[in-house]
Amino acid sequence: MVRHNNQLPNNLTQLQNLIKRDPESYKDEFRQQLAHFETTLEIFNLNPTQYNKKLDEQAMFLAQVTQCYLNDMKTFPQKIVDILKTHNTILHSDMRLSLCKCLILLRNKNFVTAYDLLELFFTLIKCQDKNLREYLKTHIITDIKNMNMKHKDMKLNSTLQNFIFSMLRDSNAKTAKLAVDILIELYHKNIWNDHKTVNIIADIGCFSKITKVMVASLKFFLSRDEEEKQEN
């Protein structure tokens, strides 16, 4: 295959499209970019508070083509997870959001499990970053909703529910509030509308020492009472 573009290795969008069509022919270029990513990551870890545009672009490129080179990319998802776990609160907000988007892309391709991502994202909730919190909440709800679209995996749902129930007991206000918000929204979407969810909101949420959690829980039951009255 003739390479018409001498700048191909630096044009990640074009290279990404070519790789998806013919991974074998562009394996060398891919490996070159993977090596660049490793070098950029080493440099970034020396000063993780700064936004690194190169790392952002390389990580997203690699996430886009992960499925094309499974052997080469075995450790890539964990490397992104490790950056967020190690540097979560000190990362630049744009860098943190970009790496989360990278992981969501990998999650959508089943390279990261729902539970692992849920666990990681709840640790990031404590960051002083309201936009990130809203973004992560939207993803968690959407991911759980999508998992239940075709058939309900009761074991997985139970595992995820139990994790969020434990987060509702967390002493951190942001963590507990996110947990109750997720439970309430998934109830209203008829995803987790079982007695267990309702009882947890009643027993833990309504008696929470965190005012916002208690208020959200009480409002949930008041709205349910109103709905039942209207139905009758």
Over the stretch 52-107, which tens digit does the pLDDT of each residue have? 999 999 999 999 999 999 999 999 999 999 999 999 999 999 999 999 999 999 99
Alpha-carbon Rg of the chain, whole angstroms? 21
Q: What is the pLDDT of residue 54?
A: 96
Report yes or no: 184 and 216 within 8 Å, Cβ to Cβ: yes
Tokens of 100: 């989360």
pLDDT tops 80 at residue 3: no
Q: Where are the alpha helices (DSSP H) in the chain?
A: 12-21, 27-46, 53-65, 76-87, 93-108, 114-124, 130-147, 154-168, 173-188, 195-200, 211-231
DSSP class of residue 51 equals -
Q: Work out the average pLDDT over 107-111.
A: 95
pLDDT tops 70 at residue 153: yes
Q: What is the pLDDT of residue 8?
A: 56
pTM of the shown model: 0.89
Tokens of 2: 């003739």
Average pLDDT in the chain: 92
Report yes or no: 86 and 63 within 8 Å, Cβ to Cβ: no
Could you tell me which residues come within 8 angstroms of residue 11 by beta carbon, excluding any fewer than 6 positions away? 5
Instruction: Give dist(CA 72, CA 81) in Å, integer.
Output: 17
pLDDT tops 70 at residue 9: no
pLDDT tops 80 at residue 10: no
Tokens of 65: 């083509």
Higher pLDDT, 220 or 5: 220
Q: What is the pLDDT of residues 168-202, one digit of tens each?
A: 999 999 999 999 999 999 999 999 999 999 999 99
